[in-house]
Amino acid sequence: MAEANPDNNELYTCSVCEKHLKSEKALGKHIKLYQGKCLPPEESGPKKRPRIEKSIKDQDKGETVLNEDNLDKMSACEETSPSSFMKEQISGDVGNSDEESSSKELPVFNLAEKHQILKTHLSHNYSRYISALKRLLQGDINKERFYEETYSFFTKETINANNEFLHAFFAEIYADSKA
């Protein structure tokens, strides 16, 4: 597919949040960044899967034409469901691969230590994300640079690792509260 030319008014639109982007590449980054979870303009309706819609504004008629060849392209975003969380817990020493047990357990900590572990784990990526967000709002960086800097924080692997950690972490806290 050809890239958008500056002479004609080609726009690419996310079908979920209806955000207009200048190129197919930018739309692809938008879809990958939000993984199909961007917010629709009105939250009352059901979430739609993101699709590439190439909008071409006809100067004479003012009509928007959709190119059907682009529909469903880049729409392989998966919805994460609670059932997809792994049931096994993550051990404290991740580097120890000698143990091959099917159920790993977190080490026992008191509540203050658990809070500190959680704070450290979450702040590792999110403090850098907040820093980049502040620079974006202050105008020090543009949106494209912001997405480049923060894209790795929200890859599927990073999100799954965080979800697994949090699931195991809160499962242990819940078990402690019931004991």
Taking only the tens place, the pLDDT of each residue in 152-162 is 666 666 666 66
Q: What is the DSSP letter of 106?
A: P
pTM, 2 dp: 0.25
Helices of type H across 6-154: 24-34, 111-138, 143-150
Highest mean pLDDT among 7-11, 15-19, 87-91 belongs to 15-19
Tokens of 68: 């059907």
Region at 139 (left for phi over 0; alpha for psi -120 to 50; beta for the rest)? left
Buried b (16+ CB within 10 A) or exposed e, 56-83: eeeeeeeeeeeeeebeeeeeebeeeeee
pLDDT tens readout for residues 134-178: 888 888 988 888 877 777 666 666 666 666 766 776 677 667 666
Burial class (CB in 10 A: 0-12, 13-18, 19+), 133: middle
Closest alpha carbon to 32 in 135, 157, 139, 116: 157
- The residue written with tokens 């929200």 in the block is 154
